[in-house]
Every structure is written in structure tokens, then in C-alpha cells.
Structure 1
């Protein structure tokens, strides 16, 4: 697959997400109980996508990847766990809540487990930023498929997070959001989050292809 082909696939995914969004938003009441509920098909598909991406990274990269770049697979796996709400499924309070480590209601064992998970998360993000952020900026200037794909992932992460629970976030500001709009935003968020692992898979494939070509040069 030539590098330019990835941009075409990025476009196909964007069109697919737009069509899925139109279907979900147009028939939300009919499909909500199947697609949009907690542990619905879209959420499960997103989580499976993350785990599949991590498995592909490890299988394709082999021992070298596991030794030097395992933090990518670790972060993607944590994304999948977050999608399944593992961050709050096994603890009194969600481990990503600011009060988790100071609340007297959270047992010490849970705090220790939460600290380990958060430490792994911070480590993986730090390793990626410290080792690859400069290369990402350089690739973005050159418009490489990998860098553009990562930028799309960043955008989807930021935008879906910004509309997640938006009515609740706006309440302290005295802004009331109609329930219909809140439901609309919730459905849109689920669809956009499904696109994240798909783009990660394409970026990963493009990156491994470039690694192979670089090794042949």
C-alpha cells in the first residue's frame, strides 16, 4: 500500500463515521438501546478496536517493539479499558477522579492499585511525548500519513471529550442545555470515539510500512 493511499482510507473512515452519525442521530430513539447505552454495540466495538490495535502492534512489531516501544500498546490498552469503564468498575470512586486519592471512603488497597494504573498511564504518555512529539511535528509539516492520522486522533479525542457530559459542565455557568441536545451530543460522542481506534489502526499500519521501507533503504 502506497503512503498516499492512507489519506484515501482516512477519508473513507470519515465518510463512514458521518453516515453512522446520521443514522444514529436520525433514528436515535429506535437504536439507542442497542447502540448507545453503556456497553452498547458502539462502545464495545470501540473497546475491541483498541485491544485489536494493541494486539496488532505487539504481533507486527515483535520483540523489538515490545522492548523499545511497548508504551504505545500500553496506552492503547488503557484506552480500551477506559472505554469499558474499568477505571470505575472495580473501585469505590473512579481512579481518574481528583478526589480518589484523598477520599477517606476509598480503601488503601484501591488507592495503591489506582496509583499503579495512573503511574503506568503517565509513564506511557511521557515516553510517547518525549520520544516522538518532535518527530510528529516534523511529520505534520511534511504531511506524512502517520502524522496526519495522529492529528486526526488528537482531534477526535479532544472533541469527543469536550462534548462528553456538556450539559453537566455548563450547569455551573447557568447554561441549561435541552435534553434533546444532550442526547444528540451523547450519541455523536459515541460515534466519534469509535473512529479513534480505527484511525490508530491505520496510523500503526502506515508506521510499520515506513519502518520496513526504511530498513530496506
Structure 2
């Protein structure tokens, strides 16, 4: 029978409290204070960069030689770079946009380099998706504290990206402008939850390290006389 582990219940409780805090900020702060707080250059966004870098560093410190850990660390650094807007810092426009590769205004060399970067990141994602599949499906990882906590940021990532792009897609593609209040709540959850994602990954890693130490500290089985 599936049950939530204590670590998962604690993580969910903290997330709910944090979400309530974000709701309070979005609902109570005046626009002139809220806007810079949750802007692309605001403290939440900047802290996200720091936390992704911290996650990558912790992973490398954990075991930089592991073929499974190194891709995770690299992806953490990729997310840090993405939050720092590096995906459009050296090119005419964002390398994530299809228009970047179709526009005649973009130099060919930029298209080639941007495409190689995106393909490399896609390769990392595919590799890690396979590792997650093996862990959760083959090894029943969802029943472990590490797996359950790890599921939280994995599920939150696409939700955060939908919140990130949703308002712009509605405006640019359909001419729908969200009310200011809705936009404020959307920004609070997007930036706030994006900052929480690397924290949850770090918590999962710490739980994994603790479980490994626990296994190593177990006494070796003792053979009783007459048994082999």
C-alpha cells in the first residue's frame, strides 16, 4: 500500500505554508512594491539562480565522477543560466524561440551554436528522464522518502514553466490580457515556486545521502555456527 513518508509530509506542509505566504504577498502588496519584488531581476529570481548553482555544486561535491550525478549537476547549471537569461545574452533573440532559427536576421553562426546548445540540453533531459523512469518504475522509487520528495520538484517544473509562459502566450497568440490581480498572483506563484524547486532537489539529495550513511552504518550480518 502506498503511503506518504514523513519527509514527504513535512515537505508538502512547508510548501503549503510557503504557497500561503505567496498568496498573502500577491494579495496585500501594492503594485509598486510587488512588481520589483517578483520581477525578472527581483530577489526571488536572483535567489533562484543562487539555489540552482548551489544544487549543481552540491551534486558535484556529492560525486562528480558518477555518470548519473554529473548530468544532474550540468542540468542544474543550465537552469541557473536560464534564470540568468543567458539563453538570449549573446544572441539576437532567445535560442528557445522557433523564430530564432527561421529568421533571416539571425546570423547563421548564432543559429548553429544555439542549436548545438539546445540539442545538448535535450540530450541531458532525455538521459535524466530515463534515469528517473528506471528509479521510479523499475526500482519503485516512489515508495521511498527520496523518491517522493524528488517527485515534487519534477512535477513543479512543468507547472512553473506553464505559469511563466502562459500569460505571454495568451497575450501574443490570442490577444487575451489577464487582469492585473490575476497577473500578480501568477507572477508570485511562478517566481516563488521556481525558487522552491532547487531547494526540494537539494532536500532530496540530502535525504539520499542520509539513507546511504544509514545503510553503511548497519552491522554486517553475522554467520551463526553451522550456517553458511
- Measured against the shorter chain, the TM-score band is 0.7 to 0.9
The Cα of 1:215 is off from its aligned counterpart by 5.1
Check whether the contact 1:46–1:194 (CA below 8 A) recurs between aligned residues. Answer: yes
Figure out how many residues of one structure are paired with residues of the other and give that number. 211
Bigger fraction of residues in helix: 1
The Cα of 1:149 is off from its aligned counterpart by 1.8
Aligned counterpart, 2:223? none
Aligned counterpart, 1:112? 112
Q: d(CA) in 2 for partners of 1:188 and 1:195?
A: 10
Check whether the contact 1:157–1:196 (CA below 8 A) recurs between aligned residues. Answer: yes
Check whether the contact 1:156–1:192 (CA below 8 A) recurs between aligned residues. Answer: yes
Check whether the contact 1:51–1:77 (CA below 8 A) recurs between aligned residues. Answer: yes
1:40-51 mapped onto 2 (5 Å cutoff): 40-51=42-53
Rg comparison, structure with higher value: 2
Aligned counterpart, 2:209? 208
Check whether the contact 2:56–2:73 (CA below 8 A) recurs between aligned residues. Answer: yes
Aligned counterpart, 2:222? none
Report the TM-score, using the length of structure 2 for normalisation. 0.80
**SS, match of residue 103 in structure 2:** coil
Aligned counterpart, 2:81? 81
Check whether the contact 1:100–1:111 (CA below 8 A) recurs between aligned residues. Answer: yes
Cα RMSD after superposing both structures: 2.5
Q: Per the alignment, do residues 119 and 94 of structure 1 end up closer, same or farther by CA in structure 2, a change over 3 Å counting?
A: same
Report the TM-score, using the length of structure 1 for normalisation. 0.84
1:62-81 mapped onto 2 (5 Å cutoff): 63-65=64-66, 67-81=67-81
Q: Per the alignment, do residues 211 and 118 of structure 1 end up closer, same or farther by CA in structure 2, a change over 3 Å counting?
A: farther
Aligned counterpart, 1:24? 25
Aligned counterpart, 2:146? 146
Q: d(CA) in 1 for partners of 2:68 and 2:153?
A: 23
Aligned counterpart, 1:178? 179
- Which consecutive residues of structure 2, in runs of 5 or more, have no partner in the other structure? 219-228
Q: d(CA) in 2 for partners of 1:134 and 1:23?
A: 40
Check whether the contact 2:50–2:80 (CA below 8 A) recurs between aligned residues. Answer: yes
Q: d(CA) in 1 for partners of 2:30 and 2:95?
A: 31
Deviates more, 1:119-128 or 1:100-109: 100-109
